[in-house]
Amino acid sequence: MPVMNDEAIRTMQKLSRDCACRAAVERAYRELRALNHTDVSAYNAAAQVYRWHHPEVTRLQARFDIADMLNRTD
């Protein structure tokens, strides 16, 4: 697995905040939770949406990016 330096991590985090797929990730999570799916299953579905849009992102980095997307309030 390639090691990402701090600059690469900051770039990926900025991408995740500004990316057009953000709405799809948030919608997948929000709508599944509204249908009483567990937090984990909704999060996993959001992760699949994100990784479909960003296959270059590792699963680990995707988890951080999604958490960042779902925790932002702006």
What confidence tens digit (pLDDT) does each residue in 15-36 have?
555 677 889 999 999 999 999 9
Q: Summarize pLDDT for 33-56 with one digit per residue, the tens.
A: 999 999 999 999 999 999 999 999
Task: Tell me the C-alpha distance between 8 and 26, whole Å.
Answer: 24
Domain assignment present for residue 12? The answer is no
Residue 3 lies inside a defined structural domain of this protein: no
Q: Residue 42 domain-assigned?
A: yes
Quote the pLDDT of residue 20.
Answer: 79
**Structural domains in the chain (count):** 1
pLDDT of amino acid 71 = 87
Q: Establish if 7 belongs to a structural domain.
A: no
pLDDT at 5: 64
Q: Which domain holds residue 63?
A: 20-71
Q: Is residue 9 one of the residues assigned to a domain?
A: no
Model pLDDT, residue 73: 46
Q: Is residue 13 part of a domain?
A: no
* pLDDT reported for residue 24: 93
Angle, to 10 degrees, between the axis of helix 39-53 and the axis of helix 22-34? 160
